[in-house]
A and B are shown apart, each in its own frame.
Chain A
């Protein structure tokens, strides 16, 4: 099972956080601090896996953004790496050539995509088409896409 997913920039600025198990604010803060320092201090050509307490941290850098996923000890590290990659693919498909700015300015969309992809710390849907269809249909159900895009809510 996955425990949490963090997205942060090269400067250590948090961009997205998802906690799959209940955690107190203090723990969250400590984890975010630990993760950013640990991951950012890694050498470029080293392995993508880390140990943290009894968890394994799988991280990967995409452009300026670090994706950092914590899994339980008995889980498969390579698979977790692919979970990250699939999420990036999904973001890319939705935003079209996704970049860090997309995630900063539309972070709630990134959360919605994540919620369609993972649920309760497990993979929910591995089919890219289906995830996107879900996001789209919920986007469109309320108002048509054009309407939504031409009248940004904020």
Chain B
């Protein structure tokens, strides 16, 4: 027995024990459960157990269905059924009885009933609907225990769409006199917030009340919600910082009742929750951080090292100190703390110490240097978990000098790891490091070979994609490119010659592509040799048909010369009768192109990777064929939606609410329609060849912009065009400044730093020196993000604008992010003003600032409307003279339109960034102003913007590279939505250089509410009907109705129309239909019906998430009204 248990058991000699008997004496010998359990323990085989349980279940089944069984007996039966289920035997017959027990039993029976329900059913089980009524009844009960049970079961499992039914009752419980009920209600609402945030947003102000509850338990519970809210939007809750700090101060100072102590540490759970909230609030915010320095210092001081729980608090403290704006004294203390963790003999603490180091090492690499010997020891730790955590740490400190050693360690670990999840993760990391810091070609190719072999077929598909992209795009020097490709070819040939049957499919695909594309670079390598090697792959048993088509594609590129052609002929003969149509197609191509070398040269030109290709998306080369067919009497082509309509008209009686019934999304219609004006017709060099084959050939050399996936779900497509699509994959390339690029050029020719592979056992010191090389020198560089003193070896050629918008997937930590005012006030307005006046911890300033932001709110929201000159006026208030002067820099094509307020994004001593947006019919135009406030010109400037939800394309002709002193540069983007979300965010980074200075970067983020993307969608009722049924994503909810003296429906819809730019299609009686679209071409339809004083809305759209987001904004808009 562990010593902790012993202590526990002796320290707590049943102080408050309800019965003096020891636990085991409670087993009644007559208890049926007791008998069952004993019966099972006496059995020897699994088979006997099965028989016994089946017998038991049959007897339970008989008894539960008998009408004479009392609730009390039922309870006992349920307990036995639960036991059987726990052993893994299904007792589904008892589920309905569990619900019945919860419904009808006395309090004690009920509890077992609820327990059984929560163990048996899960959220989506249909029987759960039967529970709703019971829960409703119990929530209204006067018996506290019943209310508690109902709240517990609600937070455990409740069908999402039934939440509105019980929500008002749960809300009421927030005012219950008993703190335990209030606490449970808060937690239940927290759970609702997690599963359906839309439905509880109207009670945010009640959360605030819970935060100020006099009972610490209720307050603690409310922190769960706040942590979540602040995670999503820290800007909205900055005003609460002081309150959180005060609470933490009181807790740390021991002001809470003793009851909340845990091993004489005051309320550790509460402390940790508060520390987490504070770190979110203080992140990138100097003034907020300053408020918390004192209490953090206090927490560090109070937490004496003696118990796990104080370590837990310390760990959270350290994390917080390193997350918020740095303060040197605190950092020093935190670093000391980390030292204590790392050096502790207790393995759990060591683990946590490593984790803490991993977290802080980017900001303070010296710390890793300090603990290098411990890290080395951990690297050899027998416990794999410790080893894995150490590698994580090493990953963060990798640079150009230590990459070989670290990657070697990671690969060593990969070789022994059996866990798929770890393998996938680690393989990705090795690939990332290899690409970033590879010292030379040989090492890079060899490392990637190991990655492909170890990663197998479960690794992320973007690893092979980006590898191939890297090879095909090349780098700055053609000679280097050639060497790298040549080395790859050589190494693959030797791999194929040894044991190709051990290589995973993904690797074989990479190999065949590279050999197909680049084996001609090797002078001594005959195409025929490669062909033979590749043809062996086709004969391997485990080669998948996807790989086979890669191989055949590669062969098609290679078949040249007598021997090769005969190999091709053989292949054709074996595969031309393949069951797989793709393979058959490939074999045909191989056959044809091997015969006609001239055609092959045109279809598969060598080194075509980077040549821009033109696409004839209107398929004009088929015109001849079409007219011929029409002349011969074929029916003209009708796009699917047209066919639909005709079909629907033919129906005599439509039973559907809105005529059509086949699911067809609008976007697919417009693509199918060749006449559609959205499709550009481009001239095509290939359109002359009208044979089936050249069409195929054309498609293999297509360059379709925006094609993202190679191994995507549309496997077939990927198989057909593996080569070119690979080249198209957008790989996030790390941001870099041009000056670094220059450095790179100079170092690329240098010989790589020779890194020692130390023999571990002999000299750890040596390992340390190779691992931690290059760490000390960079300690002074920027606090945010990893800074590499050595430039990256593999960098892609600058690709103009494309690369600037497709940059970096790393979320840039916004240095000086200022949210757009819309956002700010949206959140602030969640607070109820009368709540603020209640005795809370808030300072009066906070409530004041709240009011003022609320005032702005209307302006901003109404500003969403287009072309309203009076609003521009409002926005450019006299206290913002800069706005006026910046607005004069707006691009000429936008100058006539109304623009939003120009909001500052971030600034430092030399630049100010601000942004505004202009709503156009088909897109949102985002304009970023770069104001150079320094006395010298900014050079080599690069602005990179990116967003997960948005598609940004630069409109300005050429990217600005230089800004003179005290002047403004403008970057103009056209923005459309890729993926709807309530607020969409643009992250950006500006890098520049002052003359004679070092390159600098500044990061920012800019939030845009979804409403700026919503446009009215003008439709007729019939069109609406046809679209309605085609959309699959839907959401229903009740909204508040605005009750004027006039028709409430019309008033409400007009409000929505005004605020959100919806188009009201028609209002019939108590129903109304409304339509809108998200730029561009993402429609959303809304059906409203007045029902029992509320507005029941039903939204549908082809776009996932769009209905939910729109609903959110509708709620907002109505609330604001």
Contact = CB atoms under 8 A, between A and B. Distances in A.
- Do these two chains really belong together in a complex? yes
Interface of A: 13-17, 19-20, 22-25, 29, 43, 45-54, 61-63, 76-79, 81-82, 85-86, 88-89, 92-99, 101-102, 104-108, 111-112, 115, 119-120, 122-130, 132, 134, 136-139, 141-143, 145, 149, 152-154
Interface in B301-322: 308-309, 311-312, 315-316
B187 A122 contact: yes
A122 B2 contact: no
A77 B156 contact: no
B190 interface: yes
Secondary structure call for the B interface: helix
B107 interface: yes
Given A63-B5, A82-B262, A108-B115, A46 B382 contact: yes
A62 B5 contact: yes
Contact of A22 (B75, B76, B157): B157
Nearest to A24: B122
7 contacts: A51-B419, A92-B8, A94-B18, A96-B13, A124-B184, A124-B221, A154-B79
Contacts of A124: 183-184, 187, 221
Closest CB pairs A-B (n = 10): A96-B14, A102-B23, A96-B17, A78-B312, A22-B123, A120-B155, A154-B76, A120-B191, A152-B28, A46-B383
B369 interface: no
Interface in B156-193: 156-157, 180, 183-184, 187-188, 190-191
B259 interface: yes
A146 B1113 CA distance: 58
B629 interface: no
B663 to A, nearest CB: 27
A113 B1020 CA distance: 60
A108 B112 contact: yes
B16 A93 contact: yes
B805 interface: no
Interface in B1-37: 1-2, 4-5, 8-9, 12-24, 26-28, 30-34, 37
Interface residues of B, number: 94
Nearest to A44: B2
B342 interface: no
Contacts of A17: 86, 119
B485 interface: no
Given A79-B268, A108-B115, A126-B268, 14 more contacts: A51-B419, A62-B1, A95-B17, A96-B20, A97-B9, A102-B23, A124-B221, A126-B270, A138-B107, A141-B145, A142-B108, A149-B26, A152-B31, A153-B76
Contact of A51 (B5, B124, B421): B421
Contacts of B272: 76, 79
B155 A88 contact: no
B23 to A, nearest CB: 3
Interface in B94-148: 106-108, 111-112, 115, 119, 122-124, 143, 145, 148
Contacts of A23: 122
B187 A105 contact: no
B543 interface: no
Nearest to B419: A51
Nearest to A33: B88
B250 interface: no
Given A76-B272, A99-B24, A126-B267, A105 B34 contact: yes
A13 to B, nearest CB: 8
Contacts of B37: 104-105
B348 A49 contact: yes
B107 A93 contact: no
Contacts of B107: 138, 141-142
Contacts of B15: 93
A107 B115 CA distance: 11
Contact of A43 (B180, B268, B382): B382
Contacts of A134: 148, 180
